[in-house]
Amino acid sequence: MIGDIFLLIGAFFSFLGALGLLRMPDVYNRLQAGTKATTLGSLAILIGVGCYHPEWTAKLLLIAFFILLTSPVSSSTIARAAYLNGIRPFVLKSKENAS
C-alpha cells in the first residue's frame, strides 16, 4: 500500500514537471519546473519501488544519489548556457507599465 502511494506521488510530480515544460513562458521557468518536479517524482518512484523490492535498496540509493547530484548541476549549466547566449528571462508587463 505504501509503495503504491509513493508510485502515485511520483507519477503525479513527473506529470506536473512535464506540464510545466509545456506551460512555462521561458527556458528558465521551464528548467525550474522540470528539475524540481521531476527530481521529486523520480525520488518518490524510487521509494515506491524500494517498498516492493527491499533487496534493491542499495542500488536505489545509488540511483537517488546520482539524481540528486546531477539534476541541479545540469539545470544550472543549461541556464548558464542560455544566459550566455543572450536569452533573457520573460518579464510580464503590468498594466501600469504597459504604456
**Residue 40 and residue 13 in contact, taking contact as beta carbons nearer than 8 Å:** yes
Question: Average pLDDT, whole number, for the chain?
Answer: 91
Decide if pLDDT at 99 tops 80. no
In this prediction, residue 17 carries a pLDDT of 92
Strand, coil or helix: what is 78?
A: helix
Residue 64 confidence (pLDDT): 96
Output the pLDDT for position 2: 93
Condensed to tens digits (0 to 9), the pLDDT of residues 56-90 reads 999 999 999 999 999 989 999 999 999 999 988 88
Q: Compute the distance between CA of residue 28 and CA of residue 88 in angstroms, rounded to an integer.
A: 9
Residue with cell 545509488: 62
